[in-house]
Amino acid sequence: MSSWNLVRTIAGVFILISVALGAPASPFFHSPYWLWFTVFVGANLLQSGLSHWCLLERILRKLGVREGDSCSVPSPKA
Tens-of-pLDDT digits for all 78 residues of the chain?
Answer: 778 788 889 999 999 999 888 888 877 778 888 889 999 999 999 999 899 888 888 888 898 888 765 444 455 565
Q: What is the pLDDT of residue 13?
A: 94
Q: What is the pLDDT of residue 12?
A: 92
Residues in Cβ contact with 19 at an 8 Å cutoff, skipping those fewer than 6 apart: 26, 34, 35, 38
pTM of the prediction?
0.70
